[in-house]
Amino acid sequence: MYISTMRIKYFGIVREVVGSDDIAITPGMTVGEVRALLLDRYPDLASLKSLMIARNQAYALDDEVLGPADELAIIPPVSGG
């Protein structure tokens, strides 16, 4: 059973790929580990031009460690304006 204790938001094409799946993301993981987990579970994401991860509304580096109150967002290539 997967229990995600983190708030994770998906957008655009990532939202369509992931759907309503539960992803086992927990405090203490790094952003890089989250990325690897997503790419492993959804290999199609590797064909996107970019896959950024935001932590508390800021783009995150792969070595950042997740805290329990963090809000994560998976950010496919942006196309505003």
- Shortest spacing between CB 2 and another protein, in angstroms: 23
- Shortest spacing between CB 29 and another protein, in angstroms: 20
Q: Is the Cβ–Cβ distance between 71 and 55 less than 8 Å?
A: yes
Q: Is the Cβ–Cβ distance between 38 and 23 less than 8 Å?
A: yes
Provide the binding-site residues for another protein, judged by CB under 8 A.
9, 11-13, 15, 47-49, 54, 57-58, 73, 75-81
- Shortest spacing between CB 67 and another protein, in angstroms: 17
Q: Which is nearer to another protein, 68 or 81 (CB)?
A: 81
Burial of 58 (0-12, 13-18, 19+ CB in 10 A): exposed
